[in-house]
Chains A and B, each alone.
Chain A
């Protein structure tokens, strides 16, 4: 190797070391924000999950009833099932949130 090149590499090494020292204390909070962003993403899903489950159950039930003339059989059963599906999704979501909070502690 050219002595000039190894000089360059040594300088790069030194600069990298300096940069690492300078950014080390700022690296910690960024991980903290990452975790919080992840949890915020999960939490923001909760409300929508519940509403969509209920609405899809209601909508599907209403149209099935109109099609088959079984009013209000499917409206009621599918509404309850849709609500249950929404709650099931929220239970899974909460488990995800808990796991995420535990993992990084």
Chain B
């Protein structure tokens, strides 16, 4: 390899003045097979950058001859990481060399000062409003030339993925630029019959698994006469081939199959499932818990119908977690007053838990975790987020795992109907993309 690090000064911008934004890219997870975030190490083959490098060098060669001894400097003024810069730099060397450019090496043997380069190439990896822009400046005896190239970002180049600690597993199922409210995975990839349903503010999309990739099979608009609330919430439930979609003031039902039939109607009083426990049958009599979402707000109104709570009245809440940890069948409500409240068999508050986010979900007992509750972090939409397992003991909330981190706010956290995992939608603040993840507890690792 002709790469000579000593001869190529790279100046990393000390102040990354511009936040790298990649949201114009629709970042779809092309491989639909679930892939844990722990496994998502950024690996970039050189070829990802070869095409724009080739184009830049082509433009440069059109402006001036590149033949002769020269120096190359690569300056990073955008937020590409060092590994990407190294790949670009290597590709630049290859492309320049193919046009007669000979990189002058540093005199490592102390034999004296080398002659000044005939060609001085400086490539700045810059960024503007629209995205990346690479600028090559060439100084030679015939003068100075500047060429520029707006560059798209190859898919897969994004902010580094957060890595879960061993006890909570995050499996990224899907990414998209469009806001996402909920998702459902029907069947288990890599089964060819697996189906992915993605709920967005204005539509529900259905994807089939074909050759290890999700392909759009159908989509259906969600008609709504009234404006959506700003902090829009939605929920998908799938049971025995039947689909239920809950939106503020709207309820849609349909069946899964080759022909998609989805019927939506106004439903201001529709009771939403708020926890995953035994929700497969979707009614109180079968053990689910239901509440009514204010159709013009982002919270559930005061009544929670569940075996644990009976028909008790509560203050409005964002989320509920039903526990089975002891005989009193407690319920935790993430209240709109920013504190989580423990209710043990009625509307009386028996404990407050502070510092929690507004989304919580209870899962089934797993290993050492008894009635675990997944809890999002506190903060707001401008900060990164976490999900962490808590257990309730003696009316105290005990953190039972390290938190797993997200590169932006977790906007949705619903327990799955089987109670073994939870669905999370988060927004990556660096890329802007929405990410659908399955959160499960993997004790024993």
Q: Do A and B come from one complex?
A: no
Enumerate chain B interface residues (CB-CB to A < 8 A): none
